[in-house]
Amino acid sequence: MAERRNDNKKEPWRDPSAQAYVQIENVTKRFGDFVAVNNVSLKIYQHEIFCLLGGSGCGKTTLLRMLAGFEPPSSGRILIDGKDMADTPPYERPTNMMFQSYALFPHMSVAKNVSFGLEQEKLPKAQIASRVEEILDIVKMREFAGRKPHQLSGGQRQRVALARALAKRPKLLLLDEPLGALDKKLREQTQFELINIQERLGVTFVVVTHDQEEAMTLASRIGVMNRGEIVQVGTPSEIYEFPGTRFVADFIGSVNMFEGQLIEDLPDRVRIRSAELGGVVYVDHGISAAPGAVVWAAIRPEKINISRTAPADAAENCVSGVVKEIAYMGDLSIYLVKIASGKMVRVTLPNTERLSDHERILWDENVFLSWHSSSPVVLSQ
Amino acid sequence: MARPSIPKPTARLLSGRLGPWWELFYRFGPPRWTTYMRHNWAGKRLVIAVPYLWLLLFFLGPFIIVFKISFSEVRLAMPPYAPLWQWVTEKAIDVHLNLGNYLFLLTDDLYVSSYLYSLKVAAISTVFCLLIAYPMAYAMARSSPATRNIYLMLIILPFWTSFLLRVYAWIGLLKNNGVINNVLLALGVIDEPITMMQTDFAVFIGIVYSYLPFMILPLYSNLEKHDFTLLEAAADLGAGPVTSFLRVTLPLSVPGIIAGSLLVFIPAVGEYVIPSLLGSSDQLMIGRVLSDEFFANRDWPVASAVAIAMLLLLMVPIMLFQHFQSRELAGAK
């Protein structure tokens, strides 16, 4: 997964004095009895790509539509560039949106679609024409300017939708599942193009997606949503390596979760006894939970070693089991190992070498699973 | 489906003598023969043939007869026109083609002026129908699916009463001592009854009222298909409600507008009942002229010429209608 180059830019969310471009303050949206967005507060800074990530029905699109002005919040307020947006209709907001369905005007050519927003600004004709050409160049759709949307492929439509949303040079671009309709290859390619465009034009992006891979690739920060609430906000690596809750750990990537009790709780290390694991998990960083509390040790599949022989220090952070399933994915293989408690543990191994069958670990073999003491994340909720 | 690809030797022998039907029979056998028919002939063509036969018999046939009559001369007889051709001897035909009926249409002021009047009434009625129907259809398309069905029911409901009866009901409303005048008099808005019957106004009311559903339904079926996110996109790009309507909704509803307008305009041009019952007798619409020629004047050739001329004039909008309907269908795919 591509990590965004943030080294040359400061991370404004770490700077308490930084002025947020979008401020969402205690926003709640109800549809009848259903609470779609529940008391969400967020700060999004300029030049960010902020991803709202969550399963379907978690309220991420509703939040985006409130930013665009299509839905008024039931309570709370939204400030864009320091201005309260409560009484501003969508056509007066400094935002543009790229719709999930693209919503291209079917009766207008590509060029007309792109110029629509500029015409509303009553710009001179020549200026509109040059802006349209410029933006179509950016999305590499210049030679299709005269076509109607139904004469374009899905990927081309998506580019036109992006061009149309960018044409007015919005300060804030809202993207609703921008790459949802594209196949995997095209999607990866477009993700990098999106990042390039964003860096070139310096627009702030708010992206709604259910695809964690997409969020990881695009985002400078991710806000994970569940049932209308923001569960965790952080950079992709923070979210992945230090999930705050079991939901986040489970939602982003895959994870092995072992329920257990804290038996030793020191500032620099903890030990968890887990019946599910049939052993002790030793973690070399402290957590904050009451001794004896029920906690969960979450270990990512790629951080588990698999071997035929027991590792030297097998007392802790080690468990044995039988290989039940192997899925060969090309770049890596997934092993499902059944341990004594009956729990299936998921382990991924990169296929760094081309091994013959007798060298590879195969079905029904007894194996030892072990991991470094820095790997587990201890979750208390 | 597995078919025996190699015919039996006997079949090959027989087919030479008994022709292709035996070939068919032996290739496919009695049960497969019906399959063959079903696959290659029966279904598709039969379905198309029924309406074609119907139109041929009951539309094209009478049309040709009327066309023929329009070229003959009037005569006080039964039937009231001269035959177009006669057998003079056994091998010679005497054909009388009388173009006078068509020339007469142009020379007598009555026909041209009633044509123009009909077109005017139809055009104005169509515009009013459009102005009234568009907001109604738009509101219907924007309401929830449950209320939509109720509205549709209400639009179609008047058809359950006879058309004639509904036009008569308008007489009751519009006449000098009718409902409207009585109410206005009672309220003191007016001192003496307004004359509404036997005016153009009454004709417009009657036509707009009667043909409104034909405008609403195609408009509704077009507007209902509109993607609401397009309006959101327009708003997002800075277009206010009016601009959004003019630049997105209206252009996209053009096929519906044209379909509805033609469905109103074409029958309104030939409308007979409404102007006869509600309109004045000073200015006749072409439908009335046509019926007068046939039944009062008994000049069938001139009446036929009127009918043919009217049909030719209406061909243009009908062909337009066809064109846009096929485009609408192509767009829906």
SS3 sequence, A252-300? CCCCEEEEEEEEEEECCEEEEEECCCCEEEEECCCCCCCCCCEEEEEEC
pLDDT digit string (tens) for A338-367?
998 889 999 998 888 877 776 788 888 899
Q: In the prediction, which pLDDT does A294 show?
A: 85
- Asked if residue B39 belongs to a domain, the reply is no
Structure tokens at A280: 């002790």
Around Cβ B20, how many Cβ atoms within 10 Å?
Answer: 9
CATH number of the structural domain spanning residue B275: 1.10.3720.10
Q: In the prediction, which pLDDT does A85 show?
A: 92
Q: How many CA atoms lie within 13 A of A190 on its CB side?
A: 23
- Asked if residue B38 belongs to a domain, the reply is no
Asked whether the beta carbons of A254 and A247 are under 8 A apart, the reply is no
Q: In the prediction, which pLDDT does B25 show?
A: 60
- Looking at the predicted structure, is the pLDDT value of residue B326 above 90? no
Which residue do the tokens 């997105």 mark? B248
- Looking at the predicted structure, is the pLDDT value of residue B330 above 70? no
Structure tokens at A152: 């374009």
Cα B214 to its chain centre, rounded Å, is 10
Amino acid at B232: E
Closest CA relative to residue B111, chosen from B284, B326, B296: B284
Question: Does B324 or A20 have the greater pLDDT score?
Answer: A20
Domain count across chain B = 1
Closest CA relative to residue A351, chosen from A372, A370, A363, A334: A334
- Asked if residue B33 belongs to a domain, the reply is no
Residue B323 sits at the chain A interface (C-beta within 8 Å): no
- Looking at the predicted structure, is the pLDDT value of residue A42 above 70? yes
Provide the percentage of residues in chain A whose pLDDT is more than 90. Answer: 51
Picking from B222, B232, B236 by the largest number of A CB atoms within 10 A of its own CB, the best residue to mutate is B236
- Asked if residue B201 belongs to a domain, the reply is yes
Cα separation, B73 vs B81, whole angstroms: 6
Provide the β-strand partners of residue A269: A266
Q: Which residue of A has its CA nearest to B228?
A: A103
pLDDT digit string (tens) for B240-283?
999 999 999 999 999 899 889 989 998 999 899 999 999 888 88
- Looking at the predicted structure, is the pLDDT value of residue B96 above 80? no
Cα A249 to its chain centre, rounded Å, is 12
- Looking at the predicted structure, is the pLDDT value of residue B112 above 50? yes
Residue A89 sits at the chain B interface (C-beta within 8 Å): yes
Question: Does A309 or B326 have the greater pLDDT score?
Answer: A309
Q: What domain range is B273 assigned to?
A: 110-298
Q: In the prediction, which pLDDT does B94 show?
A: 78
Q: In the prediction, which pLDDT does A8 show?
A: 42
Structure tokens at B226: 């509109």
Structure tokens at B104: 């007469």
Cross-chain residue pair A117–B235, CB shorter than 8 Å = no
Which residue do the tokens 């040709």 mark? B64
Q: Give contacts of B252 with chain A, Cβ < 8 Å.
A: 106-107
Q: Which helix (H) or strand (E) holds B67?
A: helix B61-69
- Looking at the predicted structure, is the pLDDT value of residue B332 above 60? no
Asked whether the beta carbons of B74 and B81 are under 8 A apart, the reply is yes
What is the average per-residue pLDDT within A99-112?
A: 93
Residue A68 sits at the chain B interface (C-beta within 8 Å): yes
pLDDT digit string (tens) for A187-232?
888 888 888 888 888 889 999 999 888 899 889 999 999 999 999 9
Low-confidence winner among B7-21, B68-82, B173-187 (lowest mean pLDDT):
B7-21
Q: In the prediction, which pLDDT does B40 show?
A: 62
Helix axes B42-55, B20-40, angle to 10 degrees: 80
How close, in Å, is residue A75 to chain B by CA atoms? 22
Cross-chain residue pair A120–B243, CB shorter than 8 Å = yes
Provide the percentage of residues in chain B whose pLDDT is more than 90. Answer: 43
Residue A151 sits at the chain B interface (C-beta within 8 Å): no
Sheet holding A279-283, edge to edge: A279-283, A269-274, A256-266, A294-299, A377-379
- Asked if residue B156 belongs to a domain, the reply is yes
Q: In the prediction, which pLDDT does B32 show?
A: 61
- Asked if residue B114 belongs to a domain, the reply is yes
Q: Which residue of B has its CA nearest to A167?
A: B237
Residue A109 sits at the chain B interface (C-beta within 8 Å): no
Beta strands in chain A (DSSP E): 22-31, 34-44, 49-53, 75-80, 83-84, 95-98, 172-176, 204-209, 221-226, 229-234, 256-266, 269-274, 279-283, 294-299, 304-307, 318-328, 332-339, 344-350, 366-371, 377-379
- Asked if residue B37 belongs to a domain, the reply is no
- Asked if residue B290 belongs to a domain, the reply is yes
Contacts of A68 (CB under 8 A, 6+ apart): A90, A93, A95, A97, A174, B232, B236
What is the average per-residue pLDDT within A306-329?
A: 87
pLDDT band at B93 (very low <50, low <70, confident <90, very high): confident
Structure tokens at B212: 């409104």
Structure tokens at B251: 């252009």
Asked whether the beta carbons of A230 and A223 are under 8 A apart, the reply is yes
Q: Given phi > 0 = left and psi -120 to 50 = alpha, else beta, which region is A11? A: beta
pLDDT band at A1 (very low <50, low <70, confident <90, very high): very low
pLDDT band at B39 (very low <50, low <70, confident <90, very high): low
Q: Give contacts of B234 with chain A, Cβ < 8 Å.
A: 105, 116
Q: In the prediction, which pLDDT does B24 show?
A: 59
Cα separation, B133 vs B120, whole angstroms: 20
Residue A121 sits at the chain B interface (C-beta within 8 Å): yes
Q: What is the mean pLDDT of chain B?
A: 84
- Looking at the predicted structure, is the pLDDT value of residue B208 above 60? yes
Q: In the prediction, which pLDDT does B36 show?
A: 62
Cα separation, B116 vs B285, whole angstroms: 9
| pTM check: above 0.90 | no
Q: In the prediction, which pLDDT does A270 show?
A: 86
- Looking at the predicted structure, is the pLDDT value of residue B31 above 80? no
Please report, for residues A220, A242, A258, B32, the alpha-carbon distance to residue A237 in angstroms, rounded to integers and kept in the order given: 10, 8, 22, 69
